[in-house]
Amino acid sequence: MDEQAALADRFETHRGKLRAVAYRMLGSPAEADDAVQETWLRLSRTDPGTVARVESLPAWLTTVISRICLDLLRTRASRREELVGDHVPDHVTRTAAATLTDADARGPEDEVLLVESVGRALLVVLDTLTPAERVAFVLHDTFAVPFDRIAPVVERSPAATKKLASRARGKVRGTPALPAAELTRHRHVVEAFLAAARGGDLDALLAVLAPDVVRRADPAALPLGTAPEIRGADAVARETVLLTANARYAALALVDGAPGIVVAPRGRLLLALRVTVDTGRVSSYEVVATHARLRHLALAVVPD
């Protein structure tokens, strides 16, 4: 076996972990695969003598793919700033929704990977971090990479890198607006609502909705001609059943400090539901869909 073939074999033993690192950083299976391939290309082009002197190939590969991911995240952030202002027209939001849904229909195995390996809500929250925060958090908190090895990747000192990860961790955890016991009770109600919505279970929805529940929504979140506000458990439950397709892309999250719901095909935030719970039932919920409003929501992972 020649040197290149032997190097390829060594690389293959690390492909799974590299893809896991890239997927958590990028939130996209396709982009993660591209990052892994670029890592292999850089390794294959490296002088064999240099490779032979590498003390730890896994650590070297993790550093390389992390830098690739950081560059991709920075490019993505730059494009987002250029393309998106303070408002996204409603028809653009609807088009994005259709595109994401179609993409998921073509790749259900990727959707399963997203839910099982990372978690939909976490991917949404990770997408709110700066590129350097995301890289530092993923490497340290998920893969236990020490800060002195992360520091060169994000071009910070180890102490500054530690602060980056800490800041990211704070954003991921969020700040609950409710006492712990009340937070747990509200979480159970929202979980019951989401489970009923996913199953299209009208009776279960009626059981978890207050009789005078109010549903408000940005027009961009609704089919054309649908009222932005409806009242009453029967009307809200029946509409929710009609929109069950969105529920399969939904996950529990902290929305402005309280249990709510994010709808995120492939981990990309499309809608958020601000849910109000009163006396053990959903008394109202608001569907936020415009970019200007979504980006001002405080989103975090619900604590266990």
pLDDT digit string (tens) for 131-156? 999 999 999 999 999 999 999 999 99
CA dihedral 15, 107, 120, 170 (to 10 degrees): 40
Which ranges of the chain would DSSP assign to H, the alpha helix?
A: 3-12, 15-26, 29-45, 48-53, 57-83, 90-106, 108-113, 120-126, 131-137, 147-154, 158-173, 180-199, 202-208, 233-242, 244-247, 291-294
d(CA 168, CA 104): 28
pLDDT greater than 90 at residue 23: yes
The pLDDT of 44-69, averaged and rounded, is 92
> Which of 8-22, 47-61, 133-147, 183-197 has the least mean pLDDT?
47-61
> Which of 94-103, 108-117, 161-170 has the least mean pLDDT?
94-103
Would you tell me the crossing angle of helices 180-199 and 233-242 to the nearest 10 degrees? 60
Give every CB contact of residue 192 below 8 A, 6+ residues apart in sequence: 204, 207, 208
d(CA 231, CA 211): 9
pLDDT band with cut points at 50, 70 and 90 for residue 2: confident
Q: How many CB atoms lie within 10 A of CB 227?
A: 13
pLDDT of the residue at 78:
82
Residue pair 272/266 in contact (Cβ under 8 Å)? The answer is no
pLDDT greater than 80 at residue 278: yes
pLDDT of the residue at 147:
97
pLDDT band with cut points at 50, 70 and 90 for residue 3: confident
Work out whether the CA dihedral 128, 130, 133, 137 comes out positive or negative. positive
The pLDDT of 72-84, averaged and rounded, is 77
pLDDT band with cut points at 50, 70 and 90 for residue 100: very low
pLDDT of the residue at 81:
63
d(CA 157, CA 5): 37
For the chain, percent of residues with pLDDT exceeding 70: 87
The pLDDT of 237-249, averaged and rounded, is 86
> Which of 109-113, 213-217, 265-269 has the least mean pLDDT?
109-113
The whole-chain average pLDDT of the chain stands at: 88
pLDDT band with cut points at 50, 70 and 90 for residue 215: very high
Global pTM value: 0.84
